[in-house]
Amino acid sequence: MAEKDKLDEVLEYFRLKSSELKMAASETLEDEIKELQDVLKFAQKRIDAATGETKDKIQQVIDFTQQKIDELTVQADLGTSQARDVAVSLADEMDELIDDLQRSDLTKKAGDVAKSVGNLLGTIGKRVGKGASDLSKTISIRAELSKLNNRRKDLITQIGESVYKGLHVSGSLVVTDDLVKLAKEVESVENDINNKKAELAKVGKEENLSDEQISKIIEDVDKE
């Protein structure tokens, strides 16, 4: 898995947990602590194979999460109203950290995807009574599908630029070897996209998502 992919997954998972905290109505902080423990485990699994800037950013997520677990543990006996206020405040802090991590060129584009995934899958998870841990495979495949779609768009743009340059120079369409190569690559990526959509549908079923919910995820990716 590429460095960027590792960070994308952690941020998407982190964003989803933030969405769940905002929608939850817990009477105690036990659920919030469990959500953070899930984040901690997820990030720790990804950091082992990460390097450089990606590793540093994932470590920031881990440090923040551990700090918040410690803080919430101390406040575990708060009343219902206070517990809910703490949960909302925590979710806001999580969003702020994500925004900070997404300011670099490396993750700016991924940030928009992460926010979309968090909002969509957070709503779906709540609707079917499942949390981010139960939808982790769906999140991962959804991210892979998004990258394939972006690759296809990049290739189509390259084809358009090549055609324009040919028309501008010679006044007619010239089918070059490079143009043929790009067209074949588009075909290959489109096959990968179809296979990835089929994989997402299969995993979505395993994670108890309905056909409508799966279609919504795919539709959302196609619109990005």
Whether the predicted pLDDT of 71 surpasses 90:
no
Q: What is the DSSP letter of 129?
A: T
How does pLDDT run across 105-147, given as a tens digit for each residue? 444 444 454 554 455 555 545 444 455 555 668 878 888 898 8
Long-range contacts of 130-133 (CB under 8 A, 24+ apart): 130/207, 130/208, 131/20, 131/35, 131/38, 132/13, 132/16, 132/17, 132/20, 132/35, 132/38, 133/38, 133/42
Q: Which residues of 29-49 are buried (b: 16+ CB within 10 A; e: fewer)?
A: bebbbebbebbbebbbebbee
Whether the predicted pLDDT of 196 surpasses 90:
yes
Q: Closest Cα to residue 18, out of 119, 100, 105?
A: 119
Provide the residue ranges of all domains of the chain, joining segments of one domain with +.
3-127, 139-223
Q: What is the DSSP letter of 135?
A: G
pLDDT of amino acid 108: 47
pTM to 2 decimal places:
0.47
Whether the predicted pLDDT of 83 surpasses 70:
no
Which range, of 48-62, 105-119, 200-214, averages the lowest pLDDT?
105-119
Radius of gyration of the chain (CA): 21
